[in-house]
Amino acid sequence: MNRLPESISPFQLKLLLVAALVCANQAACRVNEPLNVLFIAADDMNCDLSVYGDELVKTPNLERLAKMGVRFENAYCQQPLCGPSRASIMTGLRPDTLDVHTLRHELREKNPDVVTLGQLFKRNGYYSARAGKIYHYGNPTQIGTDANDDRATWNARYNPAGIDRTQEENITRYGPQKGGLGISMAWWDPVSADEDHTDGMVASKVIQLIEQNKKRPFFLAAGFFNPHCPYVAPKRYFDLYPLDRITMPDLDEAQADLVDVPPMAIQRDTPNWPYYFKNVSIDQARKCKQAYYACTSFVDAQVGRLLEALDTHNLLDKTIVVFWSDHGYFLGEKGLWYKRKAFERSARMPLIIAAPGLSKNSAATKPVELLDLYPTLADLCGLTPPKNLEGESLKPLLQDPATADWTKPAVTQVWHNKNAWGYSIRTERWRYTEWLEGEAGRELYDHEDDPDEITNLAQQSQHRETVEQLSKQLQPYVRLKPHKRP
């Protein structure tokens, strides 16, 4: 135990007491100081990442972030399509509640009074700003514009455009040579600097915003466009992935995987199977997969730049950092490409949250949903969110990733048109999917034995009780408005 010197004078004792009070007050101020939020989004990024155990795809900066917080092993989107998924994230409401299921710019039109996530922070004295894509953008067509952004969410918005947008003529395209590049098998590997590209510019702008706002609470969003197609990144990221290390699924086996799948589940993919477009070869798909991984590592490098900026300005211990993607992505599994499917590969995406004072270097395996982010950030920052949010705060899992108290399932829906839609529920063990409430087919996959969802168990008599239970559990989430039903 530390003792005061026996010869201390009354005056010295008084000075020591004053100093102790000052230190105590400063500590109290730090405890009560508002937490910042750095909200980092990737576009179309699946979990082929070293931080999720992939041995090929290099993501050292996401690994660093995961060591700072909690990696969610089983996080799921509300709809595997950019527009509705991002609208749901930013409002904490399901696509059916918002009546938003497409890429149309209609969030505010249909929900004029909704309070978005950034808007909540702005109303509570935070500086709310974004650079890049948070709400839906046509990629690459709308890069450099506000696209489907929501003005009420932000104090400021920034829309950089790099060579991936301004030099599209250099992009190599497979399959159809007409139409936009937003749905394409296309790539480019220029010898270039990170900041020549849109995502490098996004990172630079957010770094600047961190510097400019380091002395006041902020909600800053970095919206990266990669690895969404067209797959464009500096050549050195392509060099990380020699083509002879890029494997592609056997197409005979892939076709066999789809025999027991209801036709509606893959109706967008069937006409030109495999790889979505006619006449795309396995080697061309392999090149696109290499390019996708290059873009993933490019995004990871920008995440590293953002973390360094926080560290440089001594903000790591007062900033919540969230990394998320809007949905998963197929890269040839089952012969499929892109998203917009109810399989695990499309519904699951990376989610990492690092929050000061909570768990570090941990993994949570419970199913969670992207719409849980809104109540989580409000909870962690002591803000009162709207009462109608449909997610739940992830704080219990951030405190104890193994808690048994978290029992909420994750629900993902797919909406193609009023005659083709379905809902999928993910529990700790099962994925169960109904198309048109079962009239167009059902799927059941046991993730204890079949993580790749090869065998559909829905029609097997020994699983009838499981199907009935999961169907009942799913039913309350099926809330399409009448004009969205047949």
Beta bridge partners of 47: none
**DSSP letter for each residue of 369-425:** EGGGHHHHHHHHTT----TT--S---HHHHH-TT-TT----EEEEEEEETTEEEEEE
Active site residues: 82, 136
Distance spanning both ends of the chain, measured CA to CA: 77
* Block residue for tokens 């509606």: 264
115 and 157 in contact (C-beta within 8 Å)? Answer: no
DSSP 3-state of 335: helix
CA gap 62, 439 in Å, rounded: 42
Helices (H), 124-238: 163-166, 198-212, 235-238
CA gap 436, 423 in Å, rounded: 8
Nearest C-alpha neighbor of 344 from the set 28, 64, 80, 54: 80
CA atoms within 13 A on the CB side of 275: 23
CA gap 374, 392 in Å, rounded: 8
460 and 445 in contact (C-beta within 8 Å)? Answer: no
**The token pair that represents 426 in the structure block:** 């993910």
- 352 Cβ neighbours under 8 A, 6+ residues apart: 51, 62, 65, 66, 69, 70, 71, 72, 321, 322, 323, 324
Residue type, 18: V
CA gap 455, 431 in Å, rounded: 12
- Tally Cβ neighbours within 10 Å of residue 425: 22
